[in-house]
Amino acid sequence: MSFRLVATHGQARAGVLETAHGPVETPVFMPVGTRASVRGILPSQLAEAGAQVLLANAYHLFLRPGDEVVRDLGGLHGFAGWDRPWLTDSGGFQVFSLSDLVKVSDEGVRFRSPIDGVHHFLRPEDAVRIQENLGADVAMAFDECVRLPAEAERVRGAVDRTIAWARRCRDAHRRDGQMLFGIVQGGTDPAERERCARPLLELDFPGYAVGGLSVGEDRDAMLATLAHTTAMLPEAKPRYFMGIGKPADLIDAIARGVDMFDCVIGTRNGRNATLFTSEGVVHMRNRQYQRDQGPLDPLCACPCCTGFTRAYLRHLYMSDEMLGPILGSLHNTWYLVGLVRRARQAIIEGTFPVGF
């Protein structure tokens, strides 16, 4: 398991992350399969779209079907039928954003399951054990993510816990063939970002994520904080921006030295008739497409664009036919994966970001 750079252009980087289940060419967009499934898309279709690595969520899989069930059925690779690399989020963000009656202490987090109301207590060591059972190629340290804007005291407390929990995750991690990444928190405060990053760098994680952005702050603050944070991270290790997926944001983040991305926006927008194209965002329910016999995107080779017209796609959405959201999700996945892949090639050729 290793990471190496093959080209740089300004701050933008092209590299290769070697994992136990094959190489990942970076920068890379990772489709989100929260519950070990990218909604509406077969693993074979994801591979055809060029997806290299999928993301699953430890919180959701811990609650259902249970991480030990997934372990006993071959881990994510055997259970979900995707034998390429997997990355698992520790579930920290979901614990704080989706659960009722969350109580945080330095030891961990007590929360109530949104599925059956059962109370659970999750420690950093538990988050590591769950991800080891899931068998991901890349696992994430357990952290505390704060929605922005937030009071300075709240941000400082989250940074304190993130640092302490990162040490405990590092000490607890045992699985061979799995990389554990640290997560830098700190809101939009440069000093807090630095205070979080320094001890995490001393722990020498195989990779680092920028967490706690795209959670309510304005875009300029997000990009400024991102640039400040990536400048502190080691050049020889992968950098992961968690939870970002709008096309313009991806390109701006790549220009600031980020290597890995994930976001639900592609499939979520696809289910809701909002589609990314080379001509801009298309809202497929608009009446103007009722008789449009052209493809959704003439520059796209996905099954949606090569097999169906805009008129038919609009009909599917307007009729609540499930094929519409399936095709839209598939197209958006092709688009985002392809956009980042083209950015990588442009970095190698020395032309990035021209044309994006």
Token readout for 63 is 């609650």
Helices within 73-185 (DSSP H only): 75-79, 92-98, 124-134, 152-172
* Residue written as token pair 């796209």: 300
> How far apart are alpha carbons 247 and 356 in whole angstroms?
9
Please name the helix (run of DSSP H) or strand (run of DSSP E) that holds residue 210, with its range, or none: strand 208-210
The H or E element spanning position 110 is strand 109-112
Q: What is the DSSP letter of 32?
A: B
Chain position carrying tokens 């398991």: 1
274-277 and 280-283: which strand pairing? Answer: antiparallel
Instruction: Supply the Cα-derived Rg of the chain in whole angstroms.
Output: 20
For 54, other C-beta atoms within 10 Å of its C-beta total 24
Q: Is the bond into 27 cis (omega within 30 degrees of 0)?
A: yes
Contacts of 23 (CB under 8 A, 6+ apart): 16, 17
Active site positions, annotated: 89, 262
Cα–Cα distance for residue pair 55/228, rounded to 1 Å: 26
DSSP symbol at 113: -
Helix, strand or coil for residue 47? helix
The b/e string for 324-355 (b: 16+ C-beta within 10 A; e otherwise) is: bbbbbbbbbbbbbbbbbbebbebbeeeebeee
Closest CA to 333 of 284, 269, 282, 279: 269
Do 248 and 220 meet the contact criterion of CB atoms below 8 Å apart?
Answer: no
CA distance 44 to 29: 17
Q: Sheet harboring 179-184: ordered strands across? A: 28-31, 260-263, 239-241, 208-210, 179-184, 138-140, 86-89, 54-57
